[in-house]
Chains A and B, each alone.
Chain A
Amino acid sequence: MKQKYPYLHYRHRRAGGIDEIPGCRSIPKNPCSHLSNGNNLHLILSSFRALFAFIILTILTFASAVNPANALVEIDITKGNVDPLPIAIPGFVGNGSQAKIARDIASVVEADLKRSGLFKPIDHGAFIEKITNPDVSPRFSDWKVINALALVTGRISREADGRLRTEFRLWDVFGAEQLTGQQFFTTNKNWRRVAHIIADAIYERLTGEKGYFDTRIVFVSESGGKAKRTKRLAIMDQDGANIRFLTNGSDLVLTPRFSPSRQEITYMSFAGGQPRVYLLNIETGQREIVGNFPNMTFSPRFSPDGQRVIISLQQGGNANIYTMDLRSRKTTRLTNTPAIDTSPSYAPDGSKIVFESDRGGRQQLYVMGAGGGSAQRISFGTGSYSTPVWSPRGDLIAFTKQSGGKFLIGVMKPDGSRERILTEGYHNEGPTWAPNGRTIMFFRETPGANGGPRLYSIDLTGYNEQRVRTPGFASDPAWSPLLE
């Protein structure tokens, strides 16, 4: 290898040579009084240089020997685009009377995926190939050109018994293969649900996480002027369609919550003058009071198994947390402090409870075991924290934070670390998680005489904030689990 570095070698020799004796030059008065000394020094130095050169050469020799010509390039990718994934969803194929519904289903799927913020449906005008038979492979080159990473094709047809048959296929354009394909049978009316289920399937296959499109939202619909608001309990599909009202608006209602296992809602109502927590069966309309408490009960929430309701009970100037078993009607007291403990929320595994309390002076978040006992404070930022909600994924807790005259919605880990603020505004409150733990819905109130609350959703990344369309004002949203 030596011959490969004649240059290097040469430089070293010259630097150590006799022709340059810098010491001599730099002391003009006594030119070379130290010459002999200097020569010795140079001898030593030059031998050092030789050694140094040798070491360098050895290192380089080894370095080049270790890198033989291997026909392999290895590259580490540590970054990527978090841009929404471009997806092409041409209208489904349908004949005659099914043509319209076929188009509608595809557009509902498209809207769902777009709203999630993780997908970017490609404009239909860019499509080159017209899908006529979803059973054969599309011409992938046509979809590559418009840079669609995924393609959804489908077909609607009517069965002999009058039911709709919907089938779809999800294609990986660049891999030229089918990723998934399913078919559904349903009644004519139910086509929106089928569309949501298809969107869920696509979402799950491409992101690896459960979808949340086949879900509903229960919320408080508000109408009338600011002084005299009528508040009604309402329910709608996650995309704002199919609104139904559950109460008639004669009584004030607050904080509705979905049961994780049944078509039941728990909420707080002022019916009969005394604010109490009620349980409402959506399908039958049957209503009952939770527990038999003498005082005001509020901020209810179901346990993850749907067997218990956890509430706050006012006791004098304080409030404590209780649970009630829905079968045995037995109540258990979990906290006993001279402070206001409220807004309890279970961890998804049911082992812990997060709640807000002003036992430390201001409202802060605390975590305790599901059976009560000592609580541990987890929020330490400036301002006060309230309405904690444990994510269905279990990894985060969403909260409302009041700081600097603003209301912020944020998330933190269950141990209180890594607090992140997702959004802020004049008045944000009441976060609720989508069942997959990726999206949070909350309501935001606008100031002014004509202002009022509206529903918004935001992605966990904090980027994809969107308004959820409702007729009139709306507050206190609560997300249902995935429908069955």
Chain B
Amino acid sequence: MKLGVTTSVIAHSLVLSWGLLTLSAPEPLNVADVEALPVDIIPIEALTKSIKGDKKAPLADKPAVKPTRKPVFEKKSINIGDTKVDTESPRNAIPAPSPVEAAAPPKSAPEPKVKPRDTAEVKPQESPEQVPAPTTELAAEPEQKVKVAALTPEEKAPVSREVEPLPQDEFRKLPDLVPVPQLRPATAQAKTAKTNQRKEADKPASKQAKTAPKSKSKNKTDELAALLNRQEAAASGAKRSRKRASLGTKKSNRATKLSQSQMDALRGKIQGCFNLTAGMADAEELRATVTVKLKRSGELEGRPKVTASGGNPGVRRAFKGAAKRAVQRCAPYDELPQDKYETWADLVVNFDVSDML
């Protein structure tokens, strides 16, 4: 019995261990291989439009749109209140920018400080001009309109008289007035201009404003100038971007190519306009290329340029004519998408009918 049990145990264990060693797990089904490739059916437009950008793209890829627009204002931007150094504009212009927007009142505080400096350091002639100028412009326009309106009609007469002093303006523009940087209470202005203090400062400013318009309203041209100044200042707010332009194009990045179906439509249209002689001699060798610029309206801009090769001179000339005529006959190309004008502004059409005849 024992012998039987032991032999049985040994035999079984042998068989089992043999099985463990040799019989491995069943062959795994190799289905995974097949599933590894998810296939998407994508319309061709997805590819042709694949250049379209993504709003969530990291900044590094930003199209450099802003710098291309701003350079016009670059010089003027120096005049902004925020900039610390102003080397170009005459000092008379200094007060003018300050009225920008609502910032007018705070200047009441700095001005007194300025005056002494002016008188002390600059020629005495100019100081009177400078002092009234800022105050009038600042206060009058933004806040005290009603009062000013009341005042101005009364003093309209003086305006006409004092139009003559205009040379003052010319004076201002003179570059002779040198020590500009010193005059500026730039730091002071910047501090006072902060929003908290503005409202409080308004009240005293208004008093000055009353007086100010008197002096200034005589000169309507100054008011206009102030308005103009304001606009300039407002427009020049931006600093020039120093960011590197990305690889993107200057123009919009959207769908930079005509879609396949649009190309096909264009091809079909031109083919319909292309009229050629049946059974032309040497048709296999004939090639022609028509290059033409298109207007936004789809009309041709100027005459198409045609080059042709192959065939004998007579046939080549006729083929050239036929190719050119096809492009001209099909104009205007007004079915082309307006928003992609940049892509089809230049049209190149190659004619090759070697497979046809």
Q: Which residues of A are interface residues toward B (Cβ below 8 A)?
A: 3-4, 8, 11-12, 15-16, 20-23, 26-27, 30, 33-34, 37-38, 41-42, 45, 48-49, 52, 60, 63-65, 67-83, 85, 117-118, 149, 172, 174-175, 179, 204-210, 393, 395, 437-438, 459-461, 463
Q: Is the pair B349, A77 in contact by a Cβ cutoff of 8 Å?
A: yes
Q: Is the pair B321, A459 in contact by a Cβ cutoff of 8 Å?
A: no
Cross-chain pairs A/B with CB under 8 angstroms, 15 sampled: A4-B52, A23-B29, A70-B343, A73-B348, A76-B352, A77-B267, A77-B270, A79-B353, A79-B356, A204-B314, A207-B277, A209-B277, A209-B281, A210-B314, A463-B278
New A-B pairs, 4, CB < 8 Å, besides A37-B28, A42-B32, A460-B279: A68-B256, A81-B276, A83-B275, A208-B281
Bound Cα distance A68, B54 (Å): 16
In the assembled complex, which residues on chain B have CB atoms less than 8 Å from the CB atom of A4?
Answer: 50, 52-54, 57
Bound Cα distance A463, B357 (Å): 14
Bound Cα distance A75, B350 (Å): 6
Contact of A81 among B37, B53, B275, B354 (CB under 8 A): B275
Q: Which residue of chain A is the closest to B328 with respect to CB atoms?
A: A174
Q: Which residue of chain B is the closest to A80 with respect to CB atoms?
A: B274
Q: Is the pair B278, A69 in contact by a Cβ cutoff of 8 Å?
A: no
Contact of B356 among A12, A73, A74, A80 (CB under 8 A): A80
Q: Per-position contact with A for B337-355: 1 when CB-CB < 8 Å, else 0?
A: 0000011111111111111
Q: Is the pair A208, B318 in contact by a Cβ cutoff of 8 Å?
A: yes
Is B153 an interface residue, CB under 8 A from the partner? Answer: no
Bound Cα distance A25, B267 (Å): 52
Q: Is the pair A77, B279 in contact by a Cβ cutoff of 8 Å?
A: no
Q: Is the pair A69, B32 in contact by a Cβ cutoff of 8 Å?
A: no
Contact of A3 among B52, B58, B345, B356 (CB under 8 A): B58
Is B103 an interface residue, CB under 8 A from the partner? Answer: no
Q: Is the pair A72, B346 in contact by a Cβ cutoff of 8 Å?
A: yes
How many A-B residue pairs lie within 8 Å, measured between CB atoms?
Answer: 199
Q: Is the pair B328, A85 in contact by a Cβ cutoff of 8 Å?
A: no
Contact of A80 among B53, B328, B353 (CB under 8 A): B353
In the assembled complex, which residues on chain B have CB atoms less than 8 Å from the CB atom of A79?
Answer: 271, 274, 353, 356
Chain A interface, DSSP helix/strand/loop, else mixed:
mixed
A431 to chain B, nearest CB (A): 16
Query: For A63, A74, A80, A437, which residue has the most chain B Cβ atoms within 10 angstroms?
Result: A80
Is B107 an interface residue, CB under 8 A from the partner? Answer: no
Is B297 an interface residue, CB under 8 A from the partner? Answer: no
Is B257 an interface residue, CB under 8 A from the partner? Answer: yes
Q: Which residue of chain B is the closest to A7 with respect to CB atoms?
A: B40
Contact of A22 among B32, B266, B279, B314 (CB under 8 A): B32
In the assembled complex, which residues on chain B have CB atoms less than 8 Å from the CB atom of A65?
Answer: 247
In the assembled complex, which residues on chain B have CB atoms less than 8 Å from the CB atom of A45?
Answer: 32-33, 36
In the assembled complex, which residues on chain A have CB atoms less than 8 Å from the CB atom of B31?
Answer: 22-23, 26
Bound Cα distance A15, B349 (Å): 45
A12 to chain B, nearest CB (A): 7
Bound Cα distance A42, B344 (Å): 49
Contact of B266 among A33, A73, A149 (CB under 8 A): A73
Contact of B351 among A34, A74, A77 (CB under 8 A): A77
Bound Cα distance A71, B84 (Å): 44
Q: Is the pair B318, A175 in contact by a Cβ cutoff of 8 Å?
A: no
- Assess A15 versus B38: contact at CB under 8 Å? Given A81-B276, A208-B280, A463-B278: yes
Q: Which residue of chain A is the closest to B294 with respect to CB atoms?
A: A73
Q: Per-position contact with A for B1-42: 1 when CB-CB < 8 Å, else 0?
A: 000000000000000000000000110110111011110100
B241 to chain A, nearest CB (A): 21
Bound Cα distance A75, B326 (Å): 13
B173 to chain A, nearest CB (A): 44
Contact of B256 among A22, A67, A77 (CB under 8 A): A67
- Assess A12 versus B38: contact at CB under 8 Å? Given A64-B51, A73-B258: yes
Q: Is the pair A208, B36 in contact by a Cβ cutoff of 8 Å?
A: no
Q: Is the pair B263, A75 in contact by a Cβ cutoff of 8 Å?
A: yes
Q: Which residue of chain A is the closest to B316 with respect to CB atoms?
A: A208
Q: Is the pair A77, B274 in contact by a Cβ cutoff of 8 Å?
A: yes
Bound Cα distance A208, B319 (Å): 8
Q: Per-position contact with A for B294-335: 1 when CB-CB < 8 Å, else 0?
A: 000000000100000001101111110111111011000000
Is B187 an interface residue, CB under 8 A from the partner? Answer: no
Q: Is the pair A174, B251 in contact by a Cβ cutoff of 8 Å?
A: no
Bound Cα distance A429, B352 (Å): 36
Bound Cα distance A37, B249 (Å): 51
Bound Cα distance A73, B276 (Å): 23
In the assembled complex, which residues on chain A have CB atoms less than 8 Å from the CB atom of B353?
Answer: 77-80
In the assembled complex, which residues on chain A have CB atoms less than 8 Å from the CB atom of B278?
Answer: 82, 117-118, 459-461, 463
Q: Is the pair A71, B275 in contact by a Cβ cutoff of 8 Å?
A: no
In the assembled complex, which residues on chain A have CB atoms less than 8 Å from the CB atom of B179?
Answer: none
Q: Is the pair B342, A80 in contact by a Cβ cutoff of 8 Å?
A: no
Q: Is the pair A71, B346 in contact by a Cβ cutoff of 8 Å?
A: yes
Q: Is the pair A73, B263 in contact by a Cβ cutoff of 8 Å?
A: yes
In the assembled complex, which residues on chain A have CB atoms less than 8 Å from the CB atom of B356?
Answer: 78-80
Is B272 an interface residue, CB under 8 A from the partner? Answer: yes
In the assembled complex, which residues on chain B have CB atoms less than 8 Å from the CB atom of A117?
Answer: 278
In the assembled complex, which residues on chain B have CB atoms less than 8 Å from the CB atom of A78?
Answer: 352-356
Q: Is the pair A395, B281 in contact by a Cβ cutoff of 8 Å?
A: yes
Q: Is the pair A207, B318 in contact by a Cβ cutoff of 8 Å?
A: yes
Is B56 an interface residue, CB under 8 A from the partner? Answer: yes
- Assess A81 versus B272: contact at CB under 8 Å? Given A3-B56, A208-B318: yes
B324 to chain A, nearest CB (A): 6
Q: Is the pair B277, A175 in contact by a Cβ cutoff of 8 Å?
A: no
Q: Which residue of chain B is the closest to A436 with respect to CB atoms?
A: B281
Q: Which residue of chain B is the closest to A81 with respect to CB atoms?
A: B275
In the assembled complex, which residues on chain A have CB atoms less than 8 Å from the CB atom of B345?
Answer: 71-72
- Assess A69 versus B348: contact at CB under 8 Å? Given A77-B271, A83-B275, A175-B303: no
Contact of A75 among B53, B266, B279, B315 (CB under 8 A): B266
Q: Which residue of chain B is the closest to A16 with respect to CB atoms?
A: B36
A9 to chain B, nearest CB (A): 12
Q: Is the pair A77, B33 in contact by a Cβ cutoff of 8 Å?
A: no
Bound Cα distance A60, B46 (Å): 12
A6 to chain B, nearest CB (A): 8
A97 to chain B, nearest CB (A): 37
Contact of B318 among A16, A33, A206, A438 (CB under 8 A): A206
A353 to chain B, nearest CB (A): 23
Q: Is the pair B35, A69 in contact by a Cβ cutoff of 8 Å?
A: no
Contact of A149 among B53, B258, B270, B329 (CB under 8 A): B329
Q: Is the pair B319, A69 in contact by a Cβ cutoff of 8 Å?
A: no
Bound Cα distance A75, B35 (Å): 40
Q: Is the pair A76, B274 in contact by a Cβ cutoff of 8 Å?
A: no
Bound Cα distance A330, B350 (Å): 56
Bound Cα distance A437, B54 (Å): 62
Q: Which residue of chain A is the closest to B354 with respect to CB atoms?
A: A78
A130 to chain B, nearest CB (A): 24
In the assembled complex, which residues on chain A have CB atoms less than 8 Å from the CB atom of B342?
Answer: 69, 71
Chain B 260-298 residues near chain A, CB threshold 8 A: 263, 266-267, 270-272, 274-281
In the assembled complex, which residues on chain A have CB atoms less than 8 Å from the CB atom of B257?
Answer: 67, 69
Which 5 pairs across A and B sit closest by C-beta, in order of nearness?
A208-B318, A208-B315, A80-B274, A69-B256, A82-B278
Bound Cα distance A63, B33 (Å): 28
Q: Which residue of chain B is the closest to A462 with respect to CB atoms?
A: B279
Q: Is the pair A64, B26 in contact by a Cβ cutoff of 8 Å?
A: no
Q: Is the pair A209, B315 in contact by a Cβ cutoff of 8 Å?
A: yes
Q: Is the pair A26, B29 in contact by a Cβ cutoff of 8 Å?
A: yes
Q: Which residue of chain A is the closest to B35 with respect to CB atoms?
A: A22
Q: Is the pair B26, A75 in contact by a Cβ cutoff of 8 Å?
A: no
